């Protein structure tokens, strides 16, 4: 499938405007990190206030203390979550990115402060999201500091994630809820947690981690995709036979629609699968997913997708900035592997970051300290519609760092 050239007059004008505004692409990245420094400090201050005002009963506060921001609630107040929330690792990850960019020990101390409370997750077997929760926090911390104390925490988390593996179906179970609806649901998001298992394999030498990750990716590639490489959000398996029982789209518009963030998770997930295995099947899968996204007639001109590619009221539907940020970060990595397509992938990623910067950034000193506005968690569930979301900010900063490294000729990993 041939990718069509998608750099429009609008995005070219955007590129010119950003370059003129900031003087250079390096200044463009620095401007975003300077903005992030201001916003993240604001978020830290508001988080401390929210924790001090936590109105839950004393037993709940003691058992599950609040640790990090997730979004804004309907009244515009900062929503702070406990460690067991699937988003808890993103904010400490952002602080580690700030330390990586600035080498400022103050950011290192802030990152440590928000990472340490997540130690309680190392033996938590009740979620598949330990990659998001532990690898994005402790993993980035280990990468940047070499703190050997973090290694055992991450290894324990990888063991906990592995406990959810179902050998009959060759998948890692995602959710434990809605047992009356699904026997063993697997969501496309789970591709993102495989990076934790690959790290554990390399660190421990235990090939079980590697095989679980590969089996899960292969089962997902076989069962989660339609012929056009769009994705289902949820696939329900019989854990004994591996038979597919249902294919659903829980957070998208409909079962046969394509949820934008799910497609972004898929692009990122199969790109990292190629990185870790060098299996060309995964690279080919990532290429086809990118083609689906950027050839879709409902992708807006600025490359920031609506929350679902098939949402019924396009163009009057909310965007999902988080899907755009995840996609941009994945494209920078995919650019390293794709040869003749590399420049197109980087061009798309640059355009996404430029448009996010110009039109989707928060107002300094407001918006709860978040960086980007206009993400959508799950409109179908009437949840987090057109709000800032911490994971959008995480992948925005990751994409900016990847852009910097690529343009400086530095390795990404």
pLDDT confidence of residue 16: 39
* Residue 315: cis peptide before it, omega within 30 degrees of 0: yes
The count of C-alpha atoms lying within 13 angstroms of the C-alpha of 56, restricted to the half-sphere facing its C-beta, is 14
pLDDT single digits (tens) 140-167: 999 999 999 999 999 999 999 999 999 9
308 among known catalytic residues? no
C-alpha distances in Å from residue 258, one per residue of 178, 292, 365: 22, 10, 35
- Calpha distance 395→272 (Å, rounded): 14
pLDDT score recorded for residue 17: 45
For the chain, give every domain's residue range.
Answer: 1-63+263-407
Q: Distance between CA 58 and CA 44 in Å, rounded?
A: 23
What's the pLDDT band for 8 if we cut at 50, 70, 90?
very low
Predicted pLDDT of residue 177 = 84
Full-model pTM: 0.94
Whose structure tokens read 């076989």? 222
Catalytic position from the list 85, 189, 236, 367: 189
129, 156, 308, 320: which one is catalytic? 129
- The string of pLDDT tens digits covering residues 23-74 is 467 799 999 999 999 999 999 999 999 999 999 999 999 999 999 999 999 9
**Secondary structure (3-state) at 226:** coil
Q: Are 124 and 130 in contact (CB under 8 A)?
A: yes
Distance CA 30, CA 32 (A): 5
Q: Using one digit for the tens of pLDDT, what is the confidence trace for 326-344?
A: 999 999 999 999 778 899 9
Question: In the chain, what percentage of residues exceed pLDDT 70?
Answer: 94
pLDDT for 339? 79
Average pLDDT, integer, range 258-279: 98
What integer is the mean pLDDT of 268-276? 98
pLDDT in tens, 102-152: 999 999 999 999 999 999 999 999 999 999 999 999 999 999 999 999 999
Report the C-alpha gap between 262 and 188 in whole angstroms: 6
User: In the Cβ-directed half-sphere of 39, how many Cα atoms lie within 13 Å?
Assistant: 27
Q: Once rounded to an integer, what is the mean pLDDT over residues 233-254?
A: 95
Assess whether 206 carries a catalytic annotation: no
Rounded to 5 degrees, φ, ψ at 244 are -80, 125
Domain 1-63+263-407 matching CATH 1.50.10.10: the answer reads: yes
């Amino acid at each position: 499938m041939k990718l069509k050239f998608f750099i429009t007059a609008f995005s070219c004008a955007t590129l010119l405007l950003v370059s003129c505004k900031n003087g250079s692409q390096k200044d463009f990245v620095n401007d975003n990190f300077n903005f992030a420094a201001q916003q993240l400090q604001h978020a830290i201050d508001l988080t401390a206030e929210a924790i001090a005002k936590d109105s839950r009963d004393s037993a709940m506060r003691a058992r599950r203390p609040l640790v990090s921001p997730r979004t804004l609630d309907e009244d515009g107040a900062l929503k702070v979550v406990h460690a067991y929330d699937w988003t808890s690792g993103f904010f400490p990850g952002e602080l580690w990115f700030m330390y990586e960019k600035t080498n400022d020990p103050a950011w290192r101390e802030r990152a440590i402060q928000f990472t340490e409370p997540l130690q309680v997750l190392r033996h938590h077997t009740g979620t598949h999201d330990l990659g998001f929760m532990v690898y994005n926090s402790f993993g980035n911390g280990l990468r940047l500091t070499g703190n050997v104390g973090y290694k055992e925490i991450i290894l324990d988390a990888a063991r906990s994630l592995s406990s959810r593996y179902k050998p009959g179906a060759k998948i890692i179970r995602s959710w434990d809820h809605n047992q009356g609806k699904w026997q063993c649901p697997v969501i496309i998001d789970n591709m993102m947690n495989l990076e934790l298992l690959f790290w554990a394999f390399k660190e421990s030498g235990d090939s079980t981690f590697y095989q679980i990750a590969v089996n899960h990716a292969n089962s997902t590639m076989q069962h989660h995709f339609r012929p056009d490489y769009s994705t289902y959000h949820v696939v329900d398996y019989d854990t004994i036979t591996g038979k597919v029982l249902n294919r659903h789209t829980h957070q998208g518009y409909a079962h046969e629609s394509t949820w934008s963030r799910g497609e972004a998770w898929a692009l990122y997930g199969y790109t990292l699968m190629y990185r870790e295995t060098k299996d060309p099947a995964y690279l080919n899968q990532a290429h086809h997913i990118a083609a689906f996204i950027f050839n879709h007639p409902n992708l807006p001109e600025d490359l920031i997708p609506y929350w679902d590619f098939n949402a019924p009221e396009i163009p009057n539907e909310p965007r999902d900035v988080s899907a755009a940020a995840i996609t941009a970060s994945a494209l920078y990595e995919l650019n390293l592997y794709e040869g003749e397509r590399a420049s197109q992938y980087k061009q798309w990623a640059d355009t996404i970051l430029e448009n996010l910067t110009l039109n989707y950034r928060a107002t300094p000193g407001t918006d709860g300290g978040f960086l980007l506005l206009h993400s959508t968690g799950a409109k179908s569930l009437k949840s987090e519609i057109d709000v800032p979301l911490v994971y959008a900010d995480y992948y925005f900063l990751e994409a900016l760092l990847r852009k910097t490294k690529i343009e400086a000729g530095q390795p990404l990993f």
